[in-house]
Amino acid sequence: MEKFKSVIGREFIEKTKYQYSVPSDQEKELPQPPLDQEIEAGKPVIELPAPGELEIPAIDLLTAIENRKSTRKFGDGWLTLKELTYLLWTTQGVKRVTSRPATLRTVPSAGSRHPLETYLWVHRVEGLVPGIYRYKAIGHKLVQIDSSEGWGEKLSEACYKQPFVGNAAVSFFWAVDIYRTEWRYNERAYRYVLLDAGHVCQNLHLACEAIGAGMCAVGAYHDDALNALLDLDGKEHFVVYAAAVGR
């Protein structure tokens, strides 16, 4: 049987090799894009507990790695706001903003560009109204985007009818601001943002072990439908990965 050979996939790998690179906007000394998105006008903002206040039980790293597994069935248990804060901090927390400027975070990113924005479907988190939120990493805040009903069903549908996405206590959707990395790396940026998403998701897996939560990474979703739900244009800003977390 002849093997399937992806023309598009192979072309992507070929055309994102460094020999095809042209001077980047950084090399042209064009202004760099903002380090994160501004808070949407009129949207409620929730101050999160400081990382030093979280008091999450310590867990041995090897134990967390060995116990990590994908969980697709969740109960009705809730997460606390401190537990959600811990998950956000360990996946996108800003430790310092440098004079460059750039952000130094709890996860690596090519050139410290950190292009990911974290959107959340909050379903069962103590103290939060169910709805869509965005984590503003610089400033360590949550921005409440939409608290209308029906989000669980719509997000599950956009993720090819995977019910655990909508049933989870909280689901993460990592969207990329592509120019944040393109500014420095041109076409190579499209490789790097996927690597960045992998770093973030693995941190979430391990952090979930520390709070006794289950988690499943999600790569199967209808791109256009999910981007539309989160009000992303699908070109400059688009989802690259997702994950569901619950008890």
* Domain containing residue 217: 42-246
Structurally, how many domains does the chain consist of?
Answer: 1
CATH number, residue 141: 3.40.109.10
**Quick count: other Cβ atoms within 10 Å of Cβ 187?**
16
- 32, part of any domain: no
- 20, part of any domain: no
Nearest to 187 by CA among 65, 9, 19: 19
Residue 2 pLDDT: 76
Query: Stretch 210-227: mean pLDDT, rounded?
Result: 97
Which tens digits make up the pLDDT trace of 176-207? 999 999 999 999 999 999 999 999 999 999 99
Which tens digits make up the pLDDT trace of 152-164? 999 999 999 999 9
- 17, part of any domain: no
- 11, part of any domain: no
Residue 3 pLDDT: 82
CB-based contacts of 11: which residues, under 8 Å, 6+ apart? none
- 186, part of any domain: yes
Q: 39 is written with which tokens?
A: 């808070």
- 202, part of any domain: yes
Q: Which amino acid is at 130?
A: P
Using 50, 70 and 90 to split pLDDT, how confident is the model at 1?
A: low
Separation CA 128–CA 150 (nearest Å): 16
- 8, part of any domain: no
- 204, part of any domain: yes
Query: 3-class DSSP state for residue 159?
Result: coil
What is the end-to-end Cα distance of the chain in Å, rounded?
44
Separation CA 184–CA 176 (nearest Å): 15
Which tens digits make up the pLDDT trace of 49-95? 999 899 898 999 999 999 999 999 999 999 999 999 999 999 999 99
H-helix segments, the chain: 7-15, 61-67, 81-92, 151-158, 163-167, 178-185, 189-210, 223-229
Separation CA 151–CA 191 (nearest Å): 31
